[in-house]
Amino acid sequence: MAYNDSDAGVAADRPGPGLDSGPGRVRTPLRKSASHGLKIVIVGGFGVGKTTMVGSVSEIRPLSTEEVMTEAGRGIDDGGTAGDKNTTTVAFDFGRITLDSKNVLYLFGAPGQERFWYLWDQLFAGSLGAVVLVDTRRLKDSWYAIDRLEHHKVPFVVAVNRFDGVASQPALARVREALVVADGIPVIDCDARRRESSKQVLISLVDYLTGLSGRVQPAGTIGTT
């Protein structure tokens, strides 16, 4: 079932900034029967395509909102540029997929840098799982994200965003090796700009999770190298 296909297509072509927010925008309300909000978090380095992925599969144009990080966020913000300021605002994007009459899935694009960990706590609490979106030209941008996900026992899959014109990219097996991703965890290719491809990434994640949650089914049987 598709919602606002054309709208999502427009959003998919747009780069990260310039998201919809604020008055004057036409909102698309949920159904009256909507009762369960669910979360999946897409995490990755700056410019890797998180917002693009959210936009390509979301039924609404991606929205942006913000959270104020106060003292709690300072301990891990060792950037040294904050001076004595005691609040920082961090923006994050999200989109939405109506799954059925009751369930609504929200996709969050989360900045992967260390100083945003305070925000992550809110995003990951109760989330189904995460997609680590990877740019093979900047693999080390993903190290911290994977480390934190493992530490917090959040299940994840790794999706390699294949950009145009990058012919000689490393194979998935080499990405898995470089990121030290365990064998059971799916590592897959994607094109974050394409709705169908982004949808397959989400399906891979939930399929993996369903396998882990079911006693009978073996875990992590799909999309692996």
Q: How far is Cα 46 from Cα 141, in angstroms, rounded to an integer?
A: 8
Burial status of residue 55 (CB atoms within 10 A of its CB: 0-12, 13-18, 19 or more) = buried
Q: Which is nearer to other proteins, 141 or 186 (by Cβ)?
A: 186
Rg (CA), the chain: 17
The answer to whether the CB of 212 falls within 8 A of the CB of 156 is no
Q: Smallest distance, Å, CB 123 to other proteins?
A: 7
Partners of residue 67 on adjacent β-strands: 90
Q: Does 32 bind other proteins (CB under 8 A)?
A: yes
Q: Does 35 bind other proteins (CB under 8 A)?
A: yes
Give the type of residue at 136.
Answer: T
Q: Which is nearer to other proteins, 94 or 116 (by Cβ)?
A: 94
Give the type of residue at 162.
Answer: R
In the range 50-109, which residues lie near other proteins by CB under 8 A?
57, 63-68, 85, 87, 89, 94, 96-100, 103-106, 108
Interface residue list for other proteins (CB under 8 A): 1-2, 20-23, 25, 27, 29-32, 34-39, 57, 63-68, 85, 87, 89, 94, 96-100, 103-106, 108, 122-123, 125-126, 128-129, 153-155, 184, 199, 202-203, 206-207, 209-210, 212-214, 219
